[in-house]
Copies of this chain bind each other. A is one copy, B any other.
Amino acid sequence: MSKILKFSDIEAAQERIQDYVVTTPMLQSSRLNEWLGHRIYFKAEHLQRVGAFKARGGCNAIRSLLEKHDKVEGVHARSLGNHAQAVAWAAGLFNVPATIYMPKTVSPVKAQATRGYGAKVVLYDDAVEVDAIEQQINNQPGHFWISPFNDAAVIAGQGTATVEALAQMPHRPDALFAPCGGGGLLSGMLVAARHLAPTTQVIGVEPANANDAWQSLQAGHIKALTNPSDTVADGARTNVVGDITFAHLQQLDDFFTVPEERIIYWTQWLQHLLKMHIEATSAMAMDAVVEWLRKQSTTKTVMVLLSGGNIDAAMMRRLWAEDQLQMIPSL
């Protein structure tokens, strides 16, 4: 059976989540367009509920569970980032108890935000403990483990962002760019774009420091990074993609990796030009956009999906440690 989602899965997700998520705006920077000589649209998913596109997948996953099962007594997830908040928030909407497992090293502000949405936060020392808990949960009736990306309902939810974005653009774009963590966002984007804009390229972008998806695509099978990766694009730090997302990623039109200094460069510039507080994971794709535009011979219209805006103070310091605003973006 094909692992590839159908567009109707995304349409169903839209029905389920539309009363709970917001329609995020589409942004442009006229100066950036002028400097690059092309038109770049930015889909502002950092202005989504919980500050990230993850709200879409989380909401669809939990509503899907409630439709399918008579008893949903608890949802569980492991995350130190936006998925944690998305599951906590979405569970709260439907009065489903949520438990989020976070490493003890998580920043207090993230743990607190997750608790703020009404979830129970369990701090763990060792990831192996949580693997065991996940097994247990999956055998417990009424309890469900929600994967951050390798889940059809999560992917379908993320796909709604692309449906919305395509409707907001006056013309069909030439290419869509999105960051690759576990691949959920890109998988949903691919399914939405292939249906609504079959000639539009869909392009993935990953930090060079966490290039497991790139390595997997090169190898033709899933490869995991053996060491935890360090990147400012912490939303794309995932060490391994899933079987469902990998099947989608293999259909992408192109895939780029970006070194840390270029991720930081574009984070400063997009914060400055768009006046938006966006994560490095969101800005990273701009480096791929520039690489891709360099190969084009006519004026192009592209869309970059800004994935989120949850940044702790230590990361802000790291992102602004050196001045990147001296050199104007150009092709």
Cβ–Cβ contact B277 & A272, under 8 A: yes
User: Which of chain B's residues have a CB closer than 8 A to the CB of A112?
Assistant: 328
User: Which of chain B's residues have a CB closer than 8 A to the CB of A314?
Assistant: 323
A123 shortest CB reach to chain B, Å? 17
A46 shortest CB reach to chain B, Å? 5
Per the bound structure, the CA–CA distance linking A310 and B272 in Å amounts to 7
Q: Is A47 an interface residue (CB 8 A)?
A: yes
**Which single residue of chain B is at the shortest CB-CB distance from A34?**
B116
Per the bound structure, the CA–CA distance linking A326 and B314 in Å amounts to 12
Which listed residue, B116, B274, B277, B322, touches A271 by the CB 8 Å rule?
B277
With contacts A31-B116, A317-B320, A321-B317 taken as known, whether A275 is within 8 angstroms of B272 at the C-beta atoms is: no
User: Which of chain B's residues have a CB closer than 8 A to the CB of A303?
Assistant: none
A19 shortest CB reach to chain B, Å? 16
Which listed residue, B31, B51, B274, B313, touches A324 by the CB 8 Å rule?
B313
User: Which of chain B's residues have a CB closer than 8 A to the CB of A272?
Assistant: 277, 310-311
Per the bound structure, the CA–CA distance linking A84 and B100 in Å amounts to 49
Per the bound structure, the CA–CA distance linking A10 and B274 in Å amounts to 28
Interface residues, chain A, with chain B CB atoms under 8 Å away: 25, 31, 46-47, 51, 108-109, 112, 116, 268, 271-272, 274-278, 309-314, 316-317, 320-326, 328
